[in-house]
Structure 1
Amino acid sequence: MHGWLIRMVGSRGSPGSAGFDPTRVTQLSWQPRAFLYKGFLSDEECDHLVKLARGNLEESTVADNDSGESIKSEDETVSRVESRIAAWTFLPEENGEAIQILRYENGQKYEPHFDYFIDKVNRERGGHRIATVLMYLSHVGKGGETVFPDAEAKESQVKDDDSWSHCTKKGYAVKPEKGDALLFFSLHPDATIPDPSSLHGSCPVIEGEKWSATKWIHVKNFDNLERVANSACIDEDSDCPHWAAVGECRKNPVYMVGTKESPGYCRKSCNEC
């Protein structure tokens, strides 16, 4: 398996450029919280991301942000995808790591793992990874499914041997279909406690080649380590008023309002100061 990182700087998407369509989203599981967005990326966007990464791939390992080649880019397509991810997840762009593009060849897989961090060192920058958006950039003949071994719905999913690989019998599985995106949360709704049911892996590719793009999103700002003074009554994201209006102050209080140890990012819109 080979991976590559794409880092976006500046040139964020303009309002309305996200193109988010909630009617294409299906809830797959509540433990873990997982959702599938059909046609999240167009064929052209998928091909463009693959083209950016092709020829610049290096070996990638779990939780190793230095395994790929990180570049600074103001690519319009990447910017549009970043904006769409933020609109879907209700998590700010600055909370996300660089998009990592992976290529799986015949027999290659990703062993089951967690995206949240066990150690304190990795949580210093941006806190836990709260969510993962996994985008499928190519069709796969067979295999390459994303599997959740401990998902509550694993026993209820019917799989035949012709269209599913044997690996998927170990849990709830999602087929890699070009353009689709899988969103799952690594933390419980309070955004502080890790969800062990988010354990996931990638089944071996049996036929064809698999390209995917992963976006890890943190609880807090991943790029900026500096925070405003605790006493400041401000919103730290331009989307705070919208998020507050749709109930995120109640649904996501750790991020929006904050705790005694860490102030929230939308205190003004949540009327907390």
Structure 2
Amino acid sequence: MHDILFLDVLAVLPQACMISYFLTFLQYYHKHTDSLQDDDAGPRLATILIYLADAEEGGETSFPDGSVWSNPKLEKVYGPKLSPCAQGHVAFPPRRGDALLFYSIHPDGRTEDMHSMHEGCPVVKGAKWTTTVWVHTKPFRPHQWNGKSFDSGDREFEDPGVCSDLNEECMQWARVGECTKNSDFMQRNCALSCGVCEACTEKDKQLLAPCYWKNRIAQNYLAFEPTELTFNA
């Protein structure tokens, strides 16, 4: 397989128009490849997986299909510390500030490299936070980078933990039964009037009060412990 580069990502990533990105909270992810084909941007050529938190145990990114360490010394360094899921494979433990770069496509820019098959091992203890950068073979949605066009959707972002209505007509719509008749729209835009969540104040948000987390969970948002994203330098 292609050499895996262990990078110290404390510098800012270049703002290239050939990347897409994703932030996620991961406890386990089944094995897969990242070479998803985009009609406009082409396949994902490479993946940069950036670790934002230290999982105390487990949570490795493992390459289970025939992977071999390019340097045997690395296996001796990392091998004994890996969880059972990652034992016997090339694997990288999550450490905040590190990043893992691997290629999913061969140098011809078209053929998938099956050695890039990888999985996120279960987190045994702690939590795993990552952000992913995918490098495509062609510019990814360049119109959004050049400022000529950007569709941000029709709803303003509000913290779901606070709970609010995004339209002044929400209460009236709720009175005439729209919460049931048009549930998808109403739950997204009129969560408070439809009783999807309960009103929390900004102070509740700052104090991380129970109602704040209850609202996030009720609307299928992640409730997390902020200390998961802190560390001692």
TM-score by length of 2: 0.55
Rounded Cα–Cα distance in structure 1 between residues aligned with 2:91 and 2:70 = 8
Tell whether 2:14 aligns with 1:36: no
Any residues of structure 2 matched to 1:70-219 within 5 Å, and which? 81-83=12-14, 93-97=16-20, 99-104=21-26, 108-117=27-36, 122-150=37-65, 151-153=67-69, 156=72, 157-158=75-76, 159-160=79-80, 163-219=81-137
Any residues of structure 2 matched to 1:228-243 within 5 Å, and which? none
RMSD across aligned positions (CA): 2.1
SS in 1 for 2:135: strand
Show CA shifts across 1:25-56 (max 9, x none). xxxxxx13321103x127xxxxxxxxxxxxxx
Larger radius of gyration: 2
Q: Does the CA contact (< 8 Å) of 1:154 and 1:172 recur in 2?
A: no
Rounded Cα–Cα distance in structure 2 between residues aligned with 1:114 and 1:32 = 14
- How many residue pairs are counted as aligned between the two chains? 138
Q: Which runs of 4+ in 1 moved over 2 A?
A: 152-158
Show CA shifts across 1:115-142 (max 9, x none). 013xxxx431200100100000011110
Q: Does the CA contact (< 8 Å) of 2:57 and 2:83 recur in 1?
A: yes
Show CA shifts across 1:169-220 (max 9, x none). 2521001111001111111122221111000111100111111110111000
Q: Does the CA contact (< 8 Å) of 2:48 and 2:102 recur in 1?
A: yes
Q: Structure 1 stretches of 5 or more lacking a match?
A: 1-30, 43-80, 87-92, 226-273
Rounded Cα–Cα distance in structure 1 between residues aligned with 2:96 and 2:71 = 26
Supply the AA of the counterpart residue of 1:95: M
Tell whether 2:140 aligns with 1:222: yes
TM-score by length of 1: 0.47
Q: Does the CA contact (< 8 Å) of 1:154 and 1:171 recur in 2?
A: no
Q: Does the CA contact (< 8 Å) of 2:50 and 2:132 recur in 1?
A: yes
Identity of aligned residues (%): 35
Show CA shifts across 1:130-168 (max 9, x none). 0100000011110001101122329952422xx320001
